[in-house]
Amino acid sequence: MTGVLASQQIETLIKNGAISADAPFVEGQVQPASLDLRLGTVAYRVRASFLAGETRSVADRINEFEMHRISLGGDGAVLEKGCVYLVPLMERVKLPAGVQAIANAKSSTGRLDLLTRVITDGGVEFDRIATGYDGPLYAEICPRSFSVLVRPGMRLNQIRFRDGRSVLTDGELQDLHQAETLVGGGPAVIGEGLGFSVDLRPQSGNLVGYRARPHTGVIDLDRIGHYDPREFWDELHSDNGRLILDPGAFYILVSREAVHIPPGYAAEMAPYLAMVGEFRVHYAGFFDPGFGHAAAGGAGARGVLEVRCHEAPFVLEHGQIVGRLVYERMSEVPAQLYGAGIASNYQGQGLKLSKHFRAF
């Protein structure tokens, strides 16, 4: 069957050598519909973001743009806010015919405003790996709001494998919604995916989100539940269902709708049309099978929105459509669902910062 490959199929790719690594794979690295990618031992500080381009290798381009290289071993290394780094990943792929891959930042990565993308030899797009590709993978990392401390083996990106076309048409999505109730808390807005809107009128209190503070300390990505959020974030309150976004600022907001990904499907969060506003929503775009699924402990899970305003101040209104979920069929139902007996940090979530912070 065509579709997104499930965890057991990814494990088969590893067993067959289609996915290999410089170090043994670790527990939890294979997720229900994706594989976490691990940082290697060195980071290259480069002058600018780049793609390798057809017929070119990433190593060749590093020679052109490298400013200096940093060892990530020992106590790790700080990646400075506003700088661009390239890190060879431990994993490499040799994709079988017909299988392509797409990468994305993990949820905690996006919630820290870490612009993190995968590039490949001969690549002409970020986060896209063509069928038949045989070669190394690299992570481009640009911390936007916070400087971060990283070490080899940290997992900032994840990769999903797809055999053939698996995206649901609007008609198929409507049928699935009728059968499975894909969103709650608002009507289903279907058009090139399932639209979702922003919640600026919470049921209790008037806390609607958080805005990253401009001058903060370093975040060690290995420290979970460690940091006082007040040192990194300002709370945002609204009494009128309205929020004015400041250019260049980064926000954590939440969707009005509760999201449901049935076991036989996966989804990717995609930005809404650019003409609806001067902002970008969501770096981390993968929703695994079982996210928000009641049987996996996730009834009522909402999508956290990672919002960055661009050129001009913009008024965001309660219920405004800000993005869409593109649903895809799984090739097989995963052996284990998101939230069902695995370490799933955001199952059943509402408005929530990354796992590195204590509760406000």
pLDDT in tens, 229-282: 999 999 999 999 999 999 989 999 998 888 889 999 999 887 655 545 556 776
Instruction: Rank 109-113, 180-184, 299-303 by mean pLDDT and report only the highest.
Output: 109-113
pLDDT more than 90, % of the chain: 69
d(CA 279, CA 260): 25
pLDDT of residue 275: 47
pLDDT of residue 223: 96
pLDDT of residue 213: 97
pLDDT of residue 72: 97
State the average pLDDT for the chain: 89
Instruction: Grade residue 175 by pLDDT with cuts at 50, 70 and 90.
Output: very high
pLDDT in tens, 48-63: 999 999 999 999 999 9
Which residues lie below 8 Å from residue 346, measured CB to CB, with a gap of 6+? 107, 301, 304, 352
pLDDT of residue 183: 85
Ramachandran area for residue 55 (φ above 0: left; ψ -120 to 50: alpha; else beta): left
pLDDT of residue 184: 76
Q: Does the pLDDT value for residue 27 go beyond 80?
A: yes
What average pLDDT does this structure show over 168-174?
95
pLDDT of residue 186: 64
pLDDT of residue 300: 60
Q: Does the pLDDT value for residue 222 go beyond 50?
A: yes
Least confident of 153-162, 177-186, 224-233, 277-286: 277-286
Instruction: Concatenate the DSSP letters of all residues of 162-190 into one string.
Output: EES--BPPHHHHHHHHHHH--EESS--EE
Global pTM reads 0.92
At 267, list the tokens: 């989804």
Asked if 354 and 283 touch (Cβ cutoff 8 Å), the reply is no
Degrees, nearest 5: CA angle 258-359-218: 110
Phi/psi for 13 (5° steps) reads -60, -40
d(CA 218, CA 225): 15
What average pLDDT does this structure show over 20-48?
96
Nearest to 116 by CA among 138, 99, 134, 95: 138
Asked if 309 and 247 touch (Cβ cutoff 8 Å), the reply is yes
Asked if 318 and 241 touch (Cβ cutoff 8 Å), the reply is yes
At 1, list the tokens: 């069957």
Task: Give me the long-range contacts of 57-65 (CB less than 8 A, separation at least 24).
Answer: 57/121, 57/122, 58/86, 58/119, 58/120, 58/121, 58/123, 58/136, 58/138, 59/121, 62/86
Going from the C-alpha of 181 to that of each of 100, 148, 206, 294, the distances in angstroms are 30, 39, 28, 11
Nearest to 349 by CA among 71, 108, 52: 108
| Alpha-helical runs (H) found in 101-186 | 107-111, 170-180
What average pLDDT does this structure show over 194-216?
91
